């Protein structure tokens, strides 16, 4: 292939069709990116209304409407914009995959968000391994003069809570990446006291495409309430674990099919990550969107799916995840510091089929009120949700374990998690 | 008016649970837990003076009355 020396493509490029929107450029360099997507349009503040029409929701897990944060930050002065690629969730790989394959789509989104809210400073908060590649991407952009605002790279520690909004802001300010007590919203007073927009990098990439192709194009796939596509990280008992792009509303089983489908009979699927919920094998026809998953006590979160085969024990897997989550408490808030290890320990007794403790399942459930809503962040809440969903999805296993048996087929090494260990 | 605990500051000293037992109990580790099960319990008008005293007495300044 011959490459011309004149760079930017000024002509609008055709909008991506179907659901392959984010990862389709073919190569991560600026020239390929511009050839595929076209130049960054000069949108400015009017982009906020287009984002509102698009129905874009945050892809970091909470699914908050993107335009509301944009509008709130735009109302202030001297705004700061932060692209958040801290992916502390062990079962998620979509943010680093996106930054590896399409860094310029994320950086376009960061520049467009900065222009939309009148920000003078922009940051990209990302894992250490990606700092080098992104520094190179930023150098390409400086040479081509595509960014109106300089972008600083800030390294995110590899901890579960490092991507929580207030922890992100703390790290940008030069302090440890720990969640803080919320007195005022970051959109009013965040990093250095300035109105601050913290947006997941996948959200920014979608924003960059909406700026080019419009809200109507964005809404062509997905559901009315949750339009567009999302990046799913599929792991566990599937043929080809990896990151795939799917429309919201695609059945859970359909997203597993993108990864080659289940490679053995499935017992359950963990939806939404370590703070998510287990769906039983019979519930996999449910759509991967908030409205379809809500009645099942689940949510798409950041698009994580972990397929659990019949050869693994859901209680053992959950116990391994709870141990991990207890260890990831920042240690700041008493209920989390003391309560998560207790929850993990009680659940561990159940996973190991300890029959000497009376009413084990009830003891686990009884811990919930001492954890929910009692921390600077939602780490205790998410951990309780996972434990509760496991007790519901694996109710038969609970009975079996309390009687000293296990229903997992083929009985893996007793007490050893298999699926939870695959994801990292 | 509601009672807000800054969990990053609270060390479970327990003064608030002594001064405001109508609203706060102690969890298994000594930290305050709202009797109504909410994250920020509402303070009824007749308890406001007691709540203000609990806020003032917290040795770690972890307790606040908030409007929302």
Predicted ipTM of the assembly: 0.93
The partner residue sitting opposite B7, judged by closest CB among A370, A372, A376, is A376
Alpha-carbon distance of A124 to A153, in angstroms, equals 5
Residue B65 is inside which H or E element, if any? strand B63-66
Predicted confidence band of residue A6 (pLDDT cuts 50, 70, 90): very low
Across the interface, whether the CB atoms of A181 and B37 are under 8 A apart is answered no
Across the interface, whether the CB atoms of A370 and B28 are under 8 A apart is answered yes
Q: How far is B21 from chain A (nearest CA, A)?
A: 17
Query: Which distant-in-sequence residues (6+ apart) come within 8 Å of A109 by Cβ?
Result: A83, A199, A201, A203, A204, A205, A206, A207, A208
Q: What is the reported pLDDT for A196?
A: 97
Alpha-carbon distance of A138 to A214, in angstroms, equals 26
B33 at interface of A, judged by CB pairs closer than 8 A: yes
Q: How far is B47 from chain A (nearest CA, A)?
A: 22
Which residues face B5 on adjacent strands? B63
Q: How far is B53 from chain A (nearest CA, A)?
A: 21
Q: What is the reported pLDDT for A182?
A: 84
A332 at interface of B, judged by CB pairs closer than 8 A: yes
A396 at interface of B, judged by CB pairs closer than 8 A: no
* B66 to chain A: closest CA residue: A183
Enumerate the residues of chain B whose CB falls inside 8 A of the CB of residue A372: 39
Residue B9 has pLDDT above 60, yes or no: yes
Residue A240 has pLDDT above 60, yes or no: yes
> Looking at residues B1-12, what average pLDDT do you find?
96
Alpha-carbon distance of A360 to A121, in angstroms, equals 52
Domains and CATH numbers, chain A: 30-218 (3.40.50.11540), 232-309 (3.10.20.600), 314-422 (1.20.1440.230)
Cα angle at A127 between A240 and A230, to 5 degrees? Answer: 45
Residue A100 has pLDDT above 90, yes or no: yes
Query: Which distant-in-sequence residues (6+ apart) come within 8 Å of B6 by Cβ?
Result: A181, A376, B61, B62, B63, B64
Residue A209 is inside which H or E element, if any? helix A201-213
SS3 A87: coil
How many residues are listed for chain A in this entry? 424
Which residues face B30 on adjacent strands? none
Enumerate the residues of chain A whose CB falls inside 8 A of the CB of residue B8: 178-181, 332-333, 376
Cα angle at A161 between A155 and A164, to 5 degrees? Answer: 80
Q: A-B interface: how many C-beta pairs under 8 angstroms?
A: 48
B2-66 classified as CATH 1.10.12.10: no
Give A202-234 pLDDT, tens digit per residue. Answer: 999 999 999 999 999 999 999 999 999 999 999
A363 at interface of B, judged by CB pairs closer than 8 A: no
> What's the predicted TM-score (pTM) here?
0.93
Enumerate the residues of chain B whose CB falls inside 8 A of the CB of residue A374: 5, 7, 27, 31, 33, 39
Give B17-68 pLDDT, tens digit per residue. Answer: 999 999 999 999 999 999 998 989 999 999 999 999 999 999 999 999 998 6
Domain locations in chain B as residue ranges:
2-66
A421 at interface of B, judged by CB pairs closer than 8 A: no
Alpha-carbon distance of A228 to A206, in angstroms, equals 8
Predicted confidence band of residue A147 (pLDDT cuts 50, 70, 90): confident
A180 at interface of B, judged by CB pairs closer than 8 A: yes
Give B50-62 pLDDT, tens digit per residue. Answer: 999 999 999 999 9
What is the number of helices (H) and of strands (E) in chain B?
Answer: 2, 4
Across the interface, whether the CB atoms of B33 and A342 are under 8 A apart is answered no
Alpha-carbon distance of A237 to A232, in angstroms, equals 15
Alpha-carbon distance of A123 to A82, in angstroms, equals 5
Across the interface, whether the CB atoms of A370 and B6 are under 8 A apart is answered no
Burial per residue of A141-177, b for 16 or more beta-carbon CB atoms within 10 angstroms, e otherwise: beeeebbeeebebbbbbebbbbbbbbbbbbbbeeeeb
Q: What percent of chain A is modeled with pLDDT above 70?
A: 93
Q: How far is B63 from chain A (nearest CA, A)?
A: 11
Enumerate the residues of chain B whose CB falls inside 8 A of the CB of residue A338: 28-29, 31
Residue A268 is inside which H or E element, if any? strand A266-271
Enumerate the residues of chain A whose CB falls inside 8 A of the CB of residue B5: 374
Predicted confidence band of residue A25 (pLDDT cuts 50, 70, 90): confident
Enumerate the residues of chain B whose CB falls inside 8 A of the CB of residue A336: 7
B9 at interface of A, judged by CB pairs closer than 8 A: yes
The partner residue sitting opposite B6, judged by closest CB among A181, A342, A372, is A181
Cα angle at A322 between A318 and A328, to 5 degrees? Answer: 145
Best to test chain B binding among A169, A181, A339 (most B CBs inside 10 Å): A181
Which residues face A423 on adjacent strands? none
Predicted confidence band of residue A3 (pLDDT cuts 50, 70, 90): very low
A336 at interface of B, judged by CB pairs closer than 8 A: yes
The partner residue sitting opposite B33, judged by closest CB among A338, A370, A375, is A370
Average pLDDT, chain B: 95
Across the interface, whether the CB atoms of A376 and B6 are under 8 A apart is answered yes
Alpha-carbon distance of A309 to A225, in angstroms, equals 32
Give A377-400 pLDDT, tens digit per residue. Answer: 999 999 999 999 999 999 999 999
Enumerate the residues of chain B whose CB falls inside 8 A of the CB of residue A335: 7, 27, 29, 31
Residue A167 has pLDDT above 70, yes or no: yes
């Amino acid at each position: 292939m011959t490459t011309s020396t004149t760079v930017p493509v000024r002509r609008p490029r055709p909008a991506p069709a179907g659901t392959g929107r984010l990862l389709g450029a073919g190569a991560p360099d600026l020239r390929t990116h511009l050839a595929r997507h076209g130049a960054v349009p000069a949108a400015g503040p009017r982009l906020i209304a287009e984002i509102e029409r698009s129905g874009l929701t945050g892809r970091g897990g909470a699914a908050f409407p993107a335009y509301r944060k944009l509008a709130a930050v735009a109302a202030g002065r001297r705004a700061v914009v932060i692209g958040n690629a801290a992916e502390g969730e062990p079962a998620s790989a979509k943010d680093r995959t996106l930054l590896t394959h399409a860094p310029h789509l994320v950086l376009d989104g960061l520049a467009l968000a900065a222009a939309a809210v009148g920000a003078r400073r922009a940051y990209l908060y990302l894992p250490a391994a990606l700092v080098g590649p992104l520094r190179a991407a930023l150098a390409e952009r400086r040479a081509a003069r595509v960014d109106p605002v300089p972008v600083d790279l800030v390294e995110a520690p590899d901890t579960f809570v490092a991507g929580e909004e207030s922890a992100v802001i703390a790290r940008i300010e030069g302090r440890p990446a720990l969640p803080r007590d919320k007195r005022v919203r970051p959109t009013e007073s965040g990093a250095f006291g300035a109105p601050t927009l913290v947006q997941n990098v996948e959200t920014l990439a979608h924003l960059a495409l909406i700026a080019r192709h419009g809200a109507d194009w964005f809404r062509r796939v997905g559901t009315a309430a949750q339009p567009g596509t999302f990046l799913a990280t599929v792991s566990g008992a599937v043929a080809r674990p990896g990151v795939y792009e799917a429309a919201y509303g695609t059945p859970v089983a359909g997203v597993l099919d993108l990864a080659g489908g289940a490679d053995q009979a499935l017992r359950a699927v963990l939806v939404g990550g370590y703070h998510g919920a287990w769906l039983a094998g019979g519930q996999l026809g449910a759509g991967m969107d908030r409205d379809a998953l809500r009645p099942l006590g689940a949510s798409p979160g950041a698009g994580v799916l972990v397929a659990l085969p019949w050869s693994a024990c859901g209680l053992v897997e959950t116990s391994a995840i709870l141990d991990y989550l207890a260890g990831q408490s920042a240690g700041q808030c008493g209920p989390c510091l003391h309560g998560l290890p207790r929850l993990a320990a009680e659940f561990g007794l159940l996973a190991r089929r300890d029959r000497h403790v009376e009413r084990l399942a009830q003891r686990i459930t009884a811990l919930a009120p001492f954890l929910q809503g009692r921390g600077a962040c939602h780490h205790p809440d998410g951990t309780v949700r996972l434990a509760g969903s496991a007790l519901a999805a694996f109710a038969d296993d609970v009975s079996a374990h309390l009687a000293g048996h296990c229903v997992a087929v083929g009985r893996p090494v007793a007490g050893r998690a298999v699926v939870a260990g695959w994801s990292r | 008016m509601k009672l807000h605990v800054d969990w990053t500051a609270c060390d479970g000293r327990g003064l608030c649970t002594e001064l405001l037992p109508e609203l706060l109990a102690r969890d298994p580790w000594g930290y305050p837990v709202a009797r109504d099960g909410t994250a920020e319990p509402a303070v009824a008008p007749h308890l406001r003076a007691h709540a203000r005293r609990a806020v003032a007495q917290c040795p770690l300044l972890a307790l606040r009355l908030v409007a929302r």
